[in-house]
C-alpha cells in the first residue's frame, strides 16, 4: 500500500527529551514506506503555554508552520506529538472563521490561506499502511510480551476535532501491538491525563496522576506500557521514581514509545530505536519475553514426545 | 350575497391592540357586506346569539368572523350559523388574534392589517358554495396494535363497550414492558400480579381476537373502512395443538438463545415460552439458535411434544381484516447505553441496564430473584444507580426527560434493601422528577427509611478495579469529586421510540416527531388523536409516560373509538378536492403525488380520468397544485378564490 | 459569608466577554457536575470546574479570575468530551485563564513562571531549548532544587541538548511575539 507524502513536524521535544521517539518514528515510517518530508525551518507550535496565553497567538505560532507546509507544496502533515497535533489542527479549524483567521494573519509575516490537514503518525500507520501490512512485515513477533497501551488525554479528544479513534476506548495502538504478536492487556485508564506539563512547577500533580496510571498498568498485568506522547512517556518513565514515592510503592515498569516496539518487531537495528534512552530499562521485560517463548516451545516439544 | 361581518374583542386580547369598531366600520365598505358589528366575546353564548339573531333579522346568507385562529373556534361558529339556518360552510374566519393582535403593539398598523384580513375573508366568502358532507358506513371493529398495558386497556374497554377488537402483538405474548417488571411504583405491587388478570381477560374476552407473534403488514382504506393485512409470523409450533406444557423447553439442547424477555441475561432454550404468565402460553422456536434450523440435525422438541405441535415447515401467514378504527399502542424501547464509552461501552458485565436489573429482582427471572453479579454470580453489597443515561442529554441527541426513571430507580433501590439488607445503594441524580400521586413521598421514603444515599451529580466514568467497579462522579451540593467502589452498577436508561415505529407510522399514514414518537393532534387538548382520521394513539408510542398515564390513554383512545362507532354513519369533510372531468387529461400526476392515496384513475368512457375518493381525501391541496390543467380544485380553496384574495390584498 | 446580592454583583460584561471569546453559551450548563466528576485535576483545584462554570453563570468575575484552578487546568479535554450539553468547558477555562493573566492574577506563581520561561525560550530561539527553560524557571522562582533528582537519569542518556537549536526564521518568531504584545496581548 503506497502512502501519500506527509510533511513531518517533529515537535521540539523530539530534539531533546524524546529523541528516541523521533528516531524510532522515522525508522518505522521508512521501513513501512511512509513518505515523510522534513520541514525547512519549522518552529515551536507553542504547545500548552501558548494556548494558555491567547488563542490567536497560539494559532499564529501553528499557522507559521502550516504556511511552511503549503510552501512545500503539500496539504498533508503528520506529527508524533499529540500536543503539536492539537495545536496544528485547532489552528486550521479556527482559522476557517474569517474574523479569527484575519486576526491571526495580522501577527504573521505572510498570511496563511488554509488547506493543511495534520494527522498523527499513529493514524497514518493504521489507515495508510494498515494492520495487515504491519503484521506481514513483522519478523520478530512480540510474543510473550504483555503490553498496556496508554494513549494520553488529548490524542483523540475532543472527538469532533481529532476525528480518528474512539475517544473513550481507542484501539489503534492495541491493534498494532496485537498484529505484531504482543498480548495487549485491558487498560481502563487509556485516556486519563498523566499530569501533562506540570512536572516542573507542580511535581505533586504529575506524581499523583502518573502514579495512578503506573499502578493500574501493573494491576492489569502489563510487562511494559506503550505510549504515543513525549510528555506521557516522560512522566511515566523519567519521573517514575517521583510517582512511586507519591504512591508509596516500589515496583518498576518500563514505558516505551509504541514506535520503539514496532521497530523491534520489524527487526530494525537497535541503534535506530533508542531503548538505551529509556530510564526504566525494558531489558528485563524483553528477556522474560524471550524466556516465555522458549518455555512455550519446550512445552510443545515435550508434549510431542 | 348578504354578508355579515363580526369582529371579536376577545376581551383585551384583540381590542387591546386593534380598534375593532373601526374594523367593523371599514368592513361595511366591502362589496356585498350589509352588516358589521364588533362583539365582546363572539364565541360566548351571548356572542353566538348575536350572530344568529343578525343572520335571521338581516337575512344574511354568509358570515365572516374576525377573531382567534379557526383552529380554536371554527367548529363553534359553523354550528352557530347552522343553528341560524345557514349551510355551515358559508362561514369564513379572519385570524386577527394570533396573526395580528398577539404579534405587535402598534394599534394603527394592527387595525389596518385586521381590515385587510377581513377584506380577503369577504372575498373568499363571496365565492364559497354551500357544501354537503357525504355519509358512509362504518365497520364497527377496532384494531389495536401493541399488546402492552395501553393496548390491553384499550382492547378491554372497547370489548366491554360491545365492539369487536383485533389485538396484534409482535412478540409471542402480550404484557409489554410492564410484564418484564418485578414491582411497580409507588405501591410496590407485583407487576405480573396486577397485569395478569387483565391479560387473562384479554385472552378470554369473546369480543377480542388476539394475534400474537404477528405484525401489521399493510394498511389501506380510510376511517370507518380500513383494510389491514396482518402477518402471522411462523412460530414453527402449531398453537392450536400447543398446550404450553413446557416439555420442549426442558429438553431443548440449545440453551443459549437470546432471551429477550430477560434482556439478554442468561440464556433461553431455542424453543421458548418467555415467562410463566405468558398470554398466550404457547411456544415459539427462534430459528437463529435452533439446531434443527442451523445444523439440520435435532428434532428433540418434535419427538417430545405430547400433542405433536412442532412444525418446522411452517410459513408466515397473511391475514386480511376489515376494521373501522386503529389504535397504535406500540410502546417504547430502551436507549442503547453502549454509546457511553465512559461507562464501559457494554464491555463490563457488571454494568447493566435498569430493565436487566428488574429481571434480576424478579422471582421468575434468570436468577430466580436473587440479585447476583453477572460476572461472578456473587451477591453485590454496594450498588450504584446512575440516572439520566440517555435522557436530558443533548450530546447523544436525547434532550428530553423520560419521566419515569427517577421513580423506577427509587423503587429499585428500595427493593435492593429488601433483598439484601446489608447492602448500600447510591443514586447519582441531577434532579428528581416525582410528579404523580404519592410519587414524591415514595422517593423520600427510599432516602428517609431505606437508607439509599442520593448524590447530586453525574458520573463521568466507570472503570474496573480489583474485581469491582470504581465509579467516579460528582456531588455538586458538596462541591466535590466523589468515588464509589461498587459491586454492581445499574444504569437508569431512558426511553426511545420502539424499533420499527417509523415504518409503522408510514403504513398508518401518521406523523412522528424527531425521535420517532407518534404525533398527537394537539399536545395539550388532543393527546390520543392523530391528524389521520380513524387512527388513535395510546401509551408510550405517543411519548414516554408511566403506567397510569398509559392506562388512562388506553381508555381514552377506546372512548374515542366508541364515540366514532356510535354514529350511524360517518360524514366526510366536504372541503376536499373535486375533479372537473372536462378538464382532466388523465396524466395521473395527482394520483402519484397524493400522500393519502385519495385519488385514483378510473376509466371514463374509455379515457383515463382522475377521481377523488371523497372519504379518504384530507383536503391538503397537493393534487390541486400538481394538476397542470387546473382540473383538480379544492372546494372552498379554489384557485380562483385564492387569486381573488391575493388581488384584494394587493390593491390599494 | 455574607448574602450575595444578585442584582449588584452580576458582572454582565464579564459574562458576555467569556461567551464571546469562547464561543460558548454558558446558560446551556445545567450544573450536572460531569466535568468535575471527570476532571483529573480536581484534587488540586481550589474551585472545582463545575463551580467555576456556576460562578461564570452568576457573573462573579473576581472570584473566578483569582482562583488557582484556572492555572492548574491541563486542557485534557475530559470535561469538553463528556459534557451532556456539548459545552467546550476546556475552552472556557482557557479563556478565563487569558483574562486572569491580563488582569494580573497569578496565584500559581511557579506554573506561570514555567509557561513564561517556555515562551521566552521559543521567542528567543524559535524552538524550545529545554535546558534553557529550566534555567530561566529556576532563576525566576528561586527553586534551585527543581528536578535535581532527575539529572542523574537524564544527562548520561544524552537526552538533553546543552545548546539551543535556533531557527533561521527566529526574527519572524520575534515579530509574532512583538505584534501580539503591541495589539494588547498579555505575555
**Which pLDDT tens digit goes with each residue over C86-120?**
999 999 999 999 999 999 999 999 999 999 999 99
Question: In this structure, is residue A305 part of a structural domain?
Answer: no
Q: Which residues of A touch C158 (CB under 8 A)?
A: 19, 277
Q: Is the Cβ pair A51, C108 closer than 8 Å?
A: no
Q: Where are the beta strands (DSSP E) in chain A?
A: 5-8, 35-38, 76-79, 117-120, 146-150, 183-184, 224-227, 255-257
Range of the domain at B525: 141-233+316-331+507-565
Of C72, C78, C146, the CB nearest to A153: C78
In a domain, B277, yes or no: yes
What is the reported pLDDT for B597?
Answer: 84
The answer to whether the beta carbons of residues B489 and B384 sit under 8 Å apart is yes
Same domain, A108 and A164: no
Q: Which residues contact B46 (CB under 8 A, 6 or more apart)?
A: B40
Is any Cβ of chain C less than 8 angstroms from the Cβ of B481? yes
Mutation target to probe the B interface, by most B beta carbons within 10 A, among C24, C29, C33, C72 is C33
Q: Looking at the complex, does the CB of residue B459 fall below 8 Å from at least one CB of chain C?
A: yes
| Judgement on whether residues A179 and A263 belong to the same structural domain of the protein | yes
B463 and B396 together in one domain:
yes
Put simply, whether C36 touches B (Cβ < 8 Å) is yes
CA-only gyration radius of chain B, Å: 31
Beta-strand relationship, A255-257 and A224-227: parallel
- In a mutational test of the B interface, the residue from A165, A184, A188 whose CB has the highest number of chain B CBs within 10 Å is A188
Asked if the structure places residue B652 within a domain, the reply is no
Residue A46 forms contact with C (CB below 8 Å): yes
User: In chain A, what is the greatest distance between 2 CA atoms, to the nearest angstrom?
Assistant: 78
Are A116 and A259 in a shared domain? no
Q: Give the phi and the psi of residue B86 in degrees, each rounded to 5.
A: -95, 165
Give the helix ranges, DSSP H, for B458-595. 501-508, 547-565, 589-593
Distance CA C61, CA C69 (A): 14
Q: Dihedral sign for Cα A183, A186, A192, A198, please.
A: negative
Domain check: are B553 and B420 in the same one?
no
Domain assignment of residue B571, yes or no: no
Are A276 and C157 an interchain contact pair (Cβ–Cβ within 8 Å)? Answer: yes
Average pLDDT over residues A196-205: 96
Residue B338 shares a structural domain with residue B439: yes
Residues of chain A found within 8 Å of residue C21, distances taken between Cβ atoms: 55
What is the extent of the structural domain holding A146?
130-296
Cα nearest neighbour of C81 on chain B: B395
CB distance from A204 to chain B under 8 Å?
Answer: no
Residue A3 in this model has a pLDDT that exceeds 70: no
- Residue B238 within any structural domain of the chain: no
Size of interface A-C (CB pairs under 8 A): 171
Listed residues A97, A121, A145: the one ending a domain: A121
CATH of the domain at B607: 3.30.70.20
Same domain, A155 and A261: yes
Residue A304 domain-assigned? no
A 10 A CB-CB count for B394 gives 13
- A chain contacts of residue C164, beta-carbon cutoff 8 Å: none
Q: Please check whether residues A54 and A73 belong to one and the same domain.
A: yes
Nearest CB to B341; choose among A167, A189, A219: A167
- What's the sign of the alpha-carbon dihedral A90, A91, A96, A98? positive
Residues A116 and A134 placed together within one structural domain of the fold: no
Q: What does the buried/exposed string (b/e) look like for A125-144 if buried means 16 or more CB atoms within 10 Å of the residue's CB?
A: bbebbeeeebbebbeeebeb
Is A96 found in the same domain as A42? yes
Closest CA to B410 of B378, B375, B441: B441
C119 touching A (Cβ < 8 Å): yes
Q: What is the CATH number of the domain that holds A24?
A: 1.20.1050.140
Find the CB nearest A189 among B347, B463, B466: B463
Q: Are residues A156 and A256 in the same domain?
A: yes
Do C78 and A157 lie within an 8 Å CB cutoff?
yes
CA distances from C53 to B472, B534, B542, C3, C185 (A): 20, 51, 36, 20, 25
Helices (H) and strands (E) in chain B, counts: 18, 34
CA diameter of chain B: 91
CA gap B112, B184 in Å, rounded: 59
Cβ-proximal residues to C117 (8 Å cutoff; 6+ apart), any chain: C133, C134, C136, C137, C140
Please report whether residue A301 resides in a domain: no
Q: Does B464 reach chain A within 8 Å, measured CB to CB?
A: yes
Window 61-80 of A: residues touching C by CB (8 A cutoff) are 61, 64
Name the stretches of chain B with pLDDT < 50: none
Average pLDDT over residues C62-82: 98
What ipTM does the predicted assembly reach? 0.95
B422-433 b/e with 16+ CB inside 10 Å = b?
ebbbbbbbbebb
CB B284 within 8 A of CB B272: yes
Domain end call among B496, B523, B544: B496
- Partners of residue A93 in chain C, C-beta under 8 Å: none
Q: Report the C-alpha gap between B618 and B576 in whole angstroms.
A: 7
Percent of chain A, pLDDT > 70? 97
Same domain, B178 and B327: yes
Does A215 reach chain B within 8 Å, measured CB to CB? Answer: no
Q: Mark whether B550 and B630 lie in a shared domain.
A: no
Report phi then psi at C144, rounded to 5. -70, -20
What span, in angstroms and rounded, lies between the C-alpha atoms of B481 and B475? 6
Structure letter (DSSP) for residue C3: P
Closest chain C C-alpha to A180 CA, distance in angstroms: 28
Residues B521 and B602 in one domain: no
Closest CA in chain B for residue C54: B476
* Peptide bond preceding A158 in cis form (omega within 30 of 0): yes
Is the distance from CB of B590 to CB of B623 less than 8 angstroms?
A: yes
E strands along A192-252, which residues? 224-227
Taking contacts as CB-CB distances below 8 angstroms, the residues of chain B near A186 are 464
Instruction: Please tell me whether residues B251 and B324 are part of one structural domain.
Output: no
| Residue A100 located in a structural domain | yes
Last residue of some domain: A100, A121, A142?
A121
What CATH number should be reported for the domain holding residue B202? 3.50.50.60
Does B476 lie in the same domain as B622? no
CATH of the domain at A240: 3.40.50.11810
Contact C119 A53 (CB under 8 A): yes
- Asked whether residue B570 is domain-assigned, the answer is no
Residues from chain A contacting residue B485 (CB–CB below 8 Å): none
What local confidence, expressed as pLDDT, does residue A183 receive? 96
| Residue B311 domain flag | no
Which chains does chain C touch, 3 or more C-beta pairs < 8 A? A, B
Whether the Cβ atoms of residue B624 and residue B639 lie closer than 8 Å to each other: yes
**Same domain for B209 and B264:** no
Answer whether residue A199 is part of any domain: yes
Residue B39: its H or E element: strand B33-39
Query: By the 8 A CB rule, do B419 and B446 touch?
Result: no
Which residue in chain B has the smallest CA separation from C35? B460
Q: Which of C47, C50, C84 lies at the smallest CB-CB distance from B394?
A: C84
Q: Is A167 on the interface with B (CB under 8 A)?
A: yes
Q: Helices A98-107 & A82-94, crossing angle to 10 degrees?
A: 120
Residue that terminates a domain, selected from B126, B152, B169: B126
b or e along A107-123 (b: 16 or more beta carbons within 10 Å of the residue's beta carbon)?
A: bbeeebeeebebbbbbb
Report whether pLDDT(A305) > 50: no
Same domain, B275 and B190: no
**Torsions phi, psi for B259 (to 5 deg):** -90, 90
- Choose among B256, B263, B251, B386: nearest CA to B310: B251
CA distance B133 to B223: 15
Number of domains in chain A: 2
B443, B370: one domain: yes
- A117, A137: one domain: no
CB contact under 8 A, C36 and B392: no
* Contact: B474, C36; criterion CB under 8 Å: yes
Does a structural domain hold residue B239? no
SS3 B228: strand
Joined together, the cell numbers standing for residue B601 give 384513475
The verdict on B147 and B99 lying in the same domain is no
- The mean predicted confidence, pLDDT, of chain A is 94
C132-143 mean pLDDT: 94
Between chains, do B395 and C84 touch, taking CB under 8 Å as contact?
yes
Which pLDDT belongs to residue B652?
A: 61
Cβ-defined contact of A167 to B345 (cutoff 8 Å): no
Q: Which of A64, A99, A121 is the last residue of a domain?
A: A121
Give helix then strand counts, H and E, for chain C: 12, 0
Of A166, A167, A188, Cβ closest to residue B463: A188
Q: Does A147 reside within a domain?
A: yes
The tally of domains found in chain B comes to 5
The Cα B617–Cα B596 span in angstroms is: 7
Same domain, A157 and A90: no
Determine if residue B41 is left, alpha or beta; phi over 0 gives left, psi from -120 to 50 gives alpha, anything else beta: beta
- Whether residue A102 lies within 8 A of chain B, CB to CB, comes out as no
C186 to chain A, any CB pair closer than 8 A? The answer is yes
Name the closest residue on chain C to residue A204, using Cα atoms. C44
Q: Would residue B645 count as lying in a domain?
A: no
Amino acid at each position: 500500500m503506497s502512502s501519500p507524502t506527509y510533511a513531518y513536524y517533529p515537535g521540539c521535544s523530539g530534539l531533546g527529551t524524546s529523541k528516541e521517539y523521533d528516531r524510532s518514528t522515522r525508522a518505522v515510517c521508512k521501513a513501512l514506506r511512509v513518505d515523510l518530508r522534513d520541514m525547512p525551518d519549522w518552529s515551536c507550535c507553542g504547545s500548552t503555554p501558548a494556548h494558555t496565553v491567547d488563542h490567536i497567538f497560539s494559532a499564529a505560532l501553528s499557522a507559521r508552520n502550516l504556511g511552511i507546509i503549503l510552501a512545500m507544496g503539500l496539504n498533508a502533515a503528520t506529527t508524533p506529538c499529540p500536543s503539536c497535533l492539537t495545536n496544528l489542527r485547532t489552528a486550521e479549524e479556527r482559522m476557517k472563521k474569517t474574523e479569527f483567521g484575519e486576526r491571526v494573519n495580522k501577527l504573521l509575516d505572510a498570511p496563511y490561506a488554509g488547506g493543511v490537514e495534520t494527522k498523527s503518525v499513529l493514524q497514518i500507520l493504521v489507515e495508510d499502511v494498515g494492520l495487515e501490512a504491519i503484521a506481514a512485515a513483522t519478523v520478530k513477533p512480540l510474543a510473550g510480551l504483555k503490553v498496556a497501551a496508554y494513549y494520553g488525554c488529548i490524542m483523540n479528544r475532543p472527538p469532533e476535532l481529532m476525528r480518528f479513534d474512539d475517544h473513550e476506548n481507542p484501539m489503534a495502538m492495541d491493534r498494532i501491538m496485537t498484529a505484531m504478536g504482543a498480548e495487549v492487556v485491558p487498560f481502563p485508564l487509556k485516556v486519563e491525563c498523566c499530569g501533562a506539563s506540570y512536572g516542573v512547577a507542580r511535581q505533586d500533580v504529575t506524581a499523583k496522576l502518573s502514579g495512578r496510571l503506573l499502578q493500574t498498568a501493573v494491576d492489569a498485568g502489563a510487562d511494559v506500557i506503550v505510549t504515543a506522547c513525549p510528555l506521557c512517556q516522560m512522566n511515566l518513565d523519567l519521573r517514575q521514581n517521583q510517582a512511586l514515592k507519591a504512591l508509596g510503592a516500589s515496583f518498576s515498569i518500563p514505558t516505551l514509545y509504541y514506535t520503539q516496539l514496532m521497530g523491534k518487531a520489524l527487526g530494525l537495528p537497535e541503534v535506530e530505536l533508542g531503548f538505551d534512552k529509556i530510564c526504566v530499562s525494558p531489558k528485563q521485560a524483553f528477556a522474560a519475553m524471550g524466556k516465555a517463548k522458549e518455555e512455550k516451545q519446550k512445552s510443545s516439544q515435550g508434549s510431542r514426545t | 350575497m348578504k354578508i355579515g361581518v363580526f369582529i371579536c374583542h376577545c376581551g383585551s386580547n384583540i381590542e387591546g391592540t386593534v380598534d375593532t369598531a373601526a374594523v367593523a366600520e371599514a368592513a361595511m365598505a366591502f362589496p356585498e357586506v350589509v352588516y358589521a358589528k364588533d362583539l365582546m366575546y363572539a364565541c360566548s353564548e351571548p356572542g353566538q346569539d348575536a350572530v344568529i339573531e343578525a343572520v335571521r333579522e338581516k337575512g344574511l346568507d354568509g358570515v365572516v368572523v374576525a377573531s382567534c385562529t379557526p383552529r380554536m373556534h371554527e367548529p363553534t361558529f359553523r354550528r352557530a350559523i347552522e343553528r341560524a339556518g345557514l349551510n355551515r360552510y358559508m362561514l369564513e374566519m379572519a385570524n386577527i388574534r394570533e396573526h395580528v393582535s398577539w404579534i405587535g403593539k402598534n394599534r394603527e398598523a394592527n387595525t389596518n392589517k385586521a381590515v385587510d384580513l377581513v377584506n380577503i375573508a369577504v372575498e373568499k366568502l363571496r365565492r364559497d358554495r354551500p357544501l354537503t358532507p357525504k355519509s358512509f358506513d362504518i365497520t364497527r371493529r377496532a384494531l389495536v396494535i401493541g399488546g402492552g398495558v395501553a393496548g390491553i386497556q384499550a382492547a378491554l374497554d372497547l370489548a366491554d363497550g360491545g365492539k369487536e377488537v383485533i389485538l396484534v402483538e409482535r412478540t409471542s405474548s402480550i404484557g409489554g414492558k410492564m410484564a418484564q417488571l418485578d414491582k411497580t411504583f409507588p405501591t410496590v405491587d407485583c407487576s405480573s400480579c396486577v397485569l395478569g388478570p387483565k391479560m387473562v381477560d384479554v385472552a378470554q374476552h369473546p369480543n377480542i381476537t388476539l394475534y400474537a407473534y404477528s405484525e401489521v403488514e399493510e394498511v389501506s382504506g380510510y376511517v370507518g373502512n380500513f383494510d389491514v393485512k396482518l402477518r402471522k409470523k411462523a412460530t414453527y409450533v402449531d398453537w392450536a395443538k400447543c398446550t404450553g406444557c413446557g416439555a420442549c423447553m426442558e429438553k431443548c439442547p440449545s440453551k443459549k438463545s437470546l432471551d429477550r424477555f430477560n434482556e439478554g441475561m442468561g440464556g433461553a432454550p431455542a424453543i421458548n415460552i418467555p415467562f410463566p404468565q405468558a398470554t398466550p402460553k404457547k411456544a415459539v422456536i427462534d430459528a437463529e439458535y435452533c439446531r434443527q434450523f442451523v445444523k439440520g440435525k435435532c428434532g428433540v422438541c418434535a419427538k417430545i411434544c405430547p400433542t405433536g405441535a412442532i412444525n418446522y415447515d411452517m410459513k408466515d401467514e397473511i391475514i386480511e381484516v376489515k376494521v373501522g378504527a386503529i389504535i397504535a399502542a406500540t410502546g417504547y424501547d430502551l436507549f442503547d447505553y453502549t454509546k457511553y464509552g465512559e461507562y464501559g461501552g457494554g464491555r463490563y458485565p457488571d454494568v447493566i441496564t435498569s430493565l436487566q436489573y428488574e429481571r434480576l429482582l424478579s422471582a421468575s427471572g434468570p436468577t430466580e430473584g436473587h440479585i447476583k453479579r453477572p460476572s461472578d454470580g456473587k451477591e453485590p453489597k454496594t450498588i450504584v444507580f446512575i440516572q439520566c443515561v440517555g435522557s436530558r442529554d443533548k450530546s447523544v441527541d436525547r434532550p428530553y426527560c423520560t419521566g419515569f426513571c427517577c421513580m423506577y430507580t427509587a423503587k429499585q433501590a428500595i427493593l435492593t434493601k429488601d433483598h439484601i439488607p446489608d447492602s448500600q445503594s447510591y443514586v447519582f441524580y441531577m434532579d428528581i422528577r416525582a410528579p404523580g400521586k404519592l410519587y414524591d413521598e415514595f422517593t423520600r421514603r427510599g432516602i428517609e427509611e431505606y437508607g439509599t444515599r442520593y448524590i447530586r451529580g453525574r458520573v463521568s466514568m466507570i472503570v474496573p478495579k480489583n474485581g469491582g467497579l470504581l465509579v467516579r462522579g460528582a456531588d455538586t451540593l458538596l462541591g466535590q469529586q466523589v468515588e464509589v467502589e461498587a459491586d454492581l452498577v445499574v444504569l437508569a436508561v431512558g426511553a426511545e421510540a420502539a424499533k420499527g415505529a417509523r415504518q409503522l407510522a408510514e403504513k398508518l399514514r401518521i406523523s412522528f416527531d424527531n425521535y420517532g414518537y407518534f404525533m398527537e393532534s394537539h399536545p395539550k387538548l388532543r393527546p390520543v388523536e392523530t391528524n389521520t382520521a380513524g387512527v388513535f394513539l395510546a401509551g408510550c408510542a405517543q411519548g414516554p409516560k408511566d403506567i397510569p398515564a398509559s392506562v388512562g390513554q388506553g381508555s381514552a383512545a377506546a372512548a374515542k373509538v366508541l364515540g366514532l362507532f356510535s354514529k350511524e354513519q360517518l360524514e366526510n369533510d366536504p372541503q376536499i378536492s373535486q375533479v372537473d372531468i372536462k378538464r382532466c387529461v388523465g396524466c395521473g400526476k395527482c394520483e402519484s403525488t397524493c400522500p393519502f392515496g385519495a385519488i385514483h384513475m378510473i376509466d371514463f368512457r374509455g379515457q383515463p380520468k382522475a377521481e377523488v375518493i371523497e372519504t379518504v381525501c384530507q383536503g391538503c391541496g397537493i393534487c390541486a397544485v400538481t394538476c397542470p390543467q387546473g382540473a383538480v380544485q379544492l372546494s372552498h380553496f379554489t384557485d380562483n378564490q385564492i387569486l381573488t384574495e391575493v388581488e384584494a390584498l394587493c390593491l390599494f | 459569608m455574607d448574602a450575595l446580592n444578585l442584582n449588584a454583583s452580576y458582572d454582565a460584561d464579564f459574562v458576555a466577554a467569556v461567551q464571546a471569546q469562547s464561543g460558548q453559551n454558558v446558560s446551556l450548563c445545567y450544573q450536572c457536575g460531569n466535568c468535575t466528576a471527570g476532571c483529573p485535576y480536581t484534587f488540586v483545584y481550589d474551585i472545582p470546574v463545575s463551580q467555576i462554570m456556576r460562578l461564570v453563570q452568576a457573573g462573579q468575575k473576581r472570584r473566578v479570575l483569582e482562583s488557582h484552578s484556572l492555572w492548574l487546568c491541563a486542557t485534557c479535554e475530559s470535561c469538553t468530551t463528556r459534557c451532556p450539553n456539548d459545552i467546550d468547558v476546556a475552552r472556557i477555562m482557557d479563556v478565563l485563564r487569558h483574562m486572569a493573566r491580563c488582569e494580573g492574577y497569578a496565584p500559581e506563581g511557579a506554573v506561570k513562571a514555567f509557561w513564561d520561561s517556555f515562551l521566552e525560550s521559543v521567542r528567543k530561539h524559535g524552538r524550545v531549548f529545554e535546558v534553557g527553560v529550566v534555567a530561566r524557571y529556576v532563576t525566576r522562582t528561586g527553586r534551585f532544587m527543581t528536578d535535581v533528582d532527575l539529572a542523574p537519569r537524564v544527562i548520561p542518556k544524552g537526552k538533553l541538548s546543552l545548546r539551543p537549536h535556533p531557527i533561521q526564521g527566529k526574527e519572524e518568531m520575534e515579530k509574532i511575539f512583538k505584534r501580539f504584545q503591541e495589539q494588547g496581548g498579555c505575555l
